[in-house]
Structure 1
Amino acid sequence: MTQTLTSPAGTSTGLAIRTQHLTKRFDRHTALREVDLEIQSGAVFGLIGPNGAGKTTLIRLLAMAESPTLGEVFFHGEKLDYTRPQFDLKRQIGYLPDDFPLYEDLNVWDYLDYFARLYGLQDKQRSRSIHQVLDLVNLGHKRKSVITSLSRGMKQRLGLARSVIHTPSILLLDEPVSGLDPVARQEFRQVIRNLHGLGITVLISSHVLSDLAELCTAIGILEFGYLVENAPLETLYQRLSQQHIVIGTRGDLKDLQTELRQFDAAVLVLEAKPQTGQVKIRFSGDPDEAADLLRSLVEAKIPLYEFHCEQESLEDIFFKIGHLQPT
């Protein structure tokens, strides 16, 4: 019988994570520069940026694996104090680093049992939690398998199971899909969706921006240690993603381009392919105006075989704003 992981007790509305002027220096190198981050409770927050931007440093600070040089961190309104244990606050955190430990001579069940004991889970509660997280990551059939026999994708899902064995309210994932094949990435995305459905706040860093675009409700962009963007994904698309329309004709491409000039206030031809009769345009109008454009082309008897809208991707947005260092 499938068991369902329960929602964490610490989930609530409002901000799950907030930082103020968070700064981290290593000798003469400043990895993070006065980061003011806000993540809503229940969000799936994607953290992106080039190598060396400060993503891992930020996640380690939130996981209390590093202490900040300056600044403050709040979980659900409670301030993290790096000078004392704060065990209750730490229990709200699940952390999966890029190089998470796997004791490969153990089997799957014993590995999870070991970490469940470290979190103080007792007897029936411990067994129930292990069953639940194995169901969550679809590894129940591998509970007796030695870890060294698992595929890389299974090991990643096992690491995720270990990170949520104590039902945290905040989950921090540092490059969790690195090196995974498309099938393993798809399986991992589904697990994140399941966790999101439970109300767990997820922060995930990744260079696979297509995965983040599919998963995330909000995005943060780090560059040179600065947080240059922190917004809901929908807001980013509305503000920064341009709409393109690809139009194909079986007739003369020049006739199509002539008709498009009537919409010159809303249309800019970006690319023309005479060999296929296609043009790609930047279109600044709304959906009703796009419908008017299509209607006009049909009424002008342009023999269309293609007309579809495309939105610029998260990767396009990143390249627009991700290489600018704040002044």
Structure 2
Amino acid sequence: MIETIGLTKKYGSLYALQDLNLTVEDGTVFGFVGANGAGKSTTFSILATLLQPTAGDAFVNGLSVTKNAHEVRKQIGYMPDFFGVYDQLKADEYLDFYGASYGLKPRDREKLIPQLLELVNLSHKRYEYVDLLSRGMKQRLCLARALIHDPNILILDEPASGLDPRARVEMREILRELKSMGKTILISSHILPELAEMCDSIGVIDTGRLIAQGSVSEIQAQLQSEKVMRVKIAGPVSVVSAFFENDPFVSQIVEKPENNLIEFLYRGSEEEQMVLLRKAMAAQLPILSFAEEETDLEDVFMAITKGADAS
């Protein structure tokens, strides 16, 4: 488990982090969302014991990053947003070097390296020089490097940054596999819809402060006092539209006859929404579907950070 308590990092009068309180449970994938400069990389650097906080502390499996840095490093695999590779090494030599740095015996490295390369889909590049690999392949190789000592916690700072769509899909599939292996994963990304697909929960950070935390649906519910409802109709929309106009929780009905749809804002609870649907069915309206329009994570992020700027 990862936990931060009052974590603060200050440079002169500038706060990179302000009183960050965060918990990531074992075996979950936690997505850290924020604009550039919001404090994501600062948080990750502190968790990776590369940066000392000004105040507060962070704990990895109960170990303090400030007091037990050496032990914490054994527990985590850290992949920074910018990383160096040794261009004159082949892929297997690169992993062998880091395996030796972690004290793995030669016979253990010899057995482990092919397994890691297979996990990150680089078995066919085992004897290629690192500088000949594509950016996506280098990203996956560095993920293998972070796994060389079999940590149970992975801290991945923008692992899909700069990747093309195919490489992002490959990275996402690898992360799903790691989650199925029981790894706890803390990941930051600006590719927000992908976080929604991968993560059990997300945290939104803005100007060094955690301004929202929870599942995507929970954060959406906090933001949306009004939901956008979409109703698919078999036939003319006018009769159905007139029915919904009489409900006190309905406003701003939009008819889309070319698609046999109506849309409206609804500010009632889920229970009141169910009552409305039952009334519509009792009135024998030709409704094919009745659903809340999903708000994607980008909309959520923009709404949350706009609210934080105004506060």
- TM (normalized to structure 2)? 0.88
Equivalent runs, 1:130-279 vs 2, <5 Å: 130-240=113-223, 243-249=227-233, 251-262=235-246, 264-269=247-252, 271-279=254-262
Q: Residues 199-253 of structure 1: CA distance to partner in whole angstroms, max 9, x if unpaired?
A: 2211111111111000111111111111112224453345445653323446444
CA distance in 1, matches of 2:119, 2:223: 36
Please report how far the alpha carbon of residue 274 of structure 1 lies from its aligned counterpart in structure 2 after TM superposition.
Answer: 5.0
**1:196 CA displacement:** 1.2
State the match for 2:29 in structure 1.
44
Distance 1:72 1:209 in 2: 28
Distance 1:279 1:174, change over 3 A: same
Amino acid at match of 2:16: A
Please list the CA deviations of residues 40-97 of structure 1 after superposition, one character each: whole Å capped at 9, or x if unmatched: 1112110001222111111111111111111111111222226xx7422211111111
Give 1:9's aligned residue.
none
Aligned to 1:314: 297
- CA distance, structure 2, for counterparts of residue 189 and residue 289 of structure 1: 40
SS of residue in 2 equivalent to 1:282: strand
**Given the alignment, which residue of 82, 94, 98 partners 1:111?**
94
Percent identity reads 37
Q: Which amino acid aligns with 1:17?
A: I
Residue in structure 1 matched with residue 49 of structure 2 by the alignment: 64
Q: Which residue of 2 aligns with 1:5?
A: none
2:27–2:179: 8 Å Cα contact kept in structure 1? yes
* SS of match in other structure, 1:90: helix
SS of the residue corresponding to residue 135 of structure 1 reads helix
Q: Secondary structure at the match of 1:95?
A: strand
Contact (CA 8 Å) 1:217, 1:234: kept in 2 or not?
no
Q: Which residue of 1 is the match for residue 78 of structure 2?
A: 95
Cα distance in structure 1, aligned partners of 2:170 and 2:279:
41
User: 1 or 2, which has the higher helix percentage?
Assistant: 2
21 and 149 in structure 1: CA distance in 2 versus 1, 3 angstrom threshold: same
Structure 1 residues 140 and 206, CA gap change in structure 2 (3 angstroms):
same
- Call closer, same or farther: CA 1:290–1:104 in 2, change over 3 Å: farther
Instruction: Give 5+ residue unaligned stretches, structure 2.
Output: none
Deviation at 1:279, TM superposition (A): 2.2
1:100 counterpart SS class: coil
Change (3 A) 1:268 1:71: same
Aligned length: 306
Name the counterpart of 1:4: none
Partner Cα distance (2:93, 2:151) in 1: 21
Residue 247 of structure 1 aligns with an amino acid whose one-letter code is V
- Deviation per CA, 1:275-327, whole angstroms, max 9, x where unpaired? 54432223443574475266257x13x4x666544322222222232231596
**Structure 1 pair 258/27, CA: closer, same or farther in 2 (3 Å)?**
same
Q: Secondary structure at the match of 1:37?
A: strand
Question: 2:23, 2:194 → 1: CA distance?
Answer: 21
Pairwise CA RMSD of aligned residues? 2.5
